[in-house]
Amino acid sequence: MTLKTLSHALLTAAIVLVGVESARAQSQTQTFMLVNGGAIPGDSTVLRHRGRQGGIDSAGPRLWAAAVAAQNLGPVQIDIRKAGADPFKFYEILLTNAESRASYRCRISSSSA
């Protein structure tokens, strides 16, 4: 596995993690993603995470468009923190020069009678 392939896999997993984790465990943890210093802004209003993607929000269509266009996203930071009255960040992922690509296959078959 090349470093580039690993980077693609990590970014895809991160995007999925942000959406799935947010829907699954909103009351226990919070996940935020910052793409290229805010080039693709999200809806978060949480202190220290304003404008970041936090779960499934308005940034989703722009992230998927970037994936379809195989756009270089630059640096991506993903923070996971404990939610509640005394929140704290317990995990951080930093991807440099991240790329996102959509992968799909189309199979057309025809049957002759």
What is the pTM assigned to this prediction? 0.63
**What average pLDDT does the segment 41-55 reach?**
84
Provide CB contacts within 8 A for 99, sequence distance 6+: 4, 7, 8, 11, 70, 71, 72, 73
State mean pLDDT over 60-69.
Answer: 84
- Where is pLDDT greater, at 107 or 2? 2
**Residue 14 DSSP label:** H
CA distance 53 to 32: 5
pLDDT class for 68, splitting at 50, 70, 90?
confident
Q: Domain spans of the chain?
A: 3-99
| C-beta separation of 56 from 19 below 8 A | yes
Q: What is the mean pLDDT of residues 64-87?
A: 86
Facing residues of 49 across strands? none
Task: Supply the DSSP symbol for 106.
Answer: -
Handedness of CA 104, 37, 10, 58 (dihedral sign): negative
Q: Where are the beta strands (DSSP E) in the chain?
A: 29-35, 72-82, 88-99
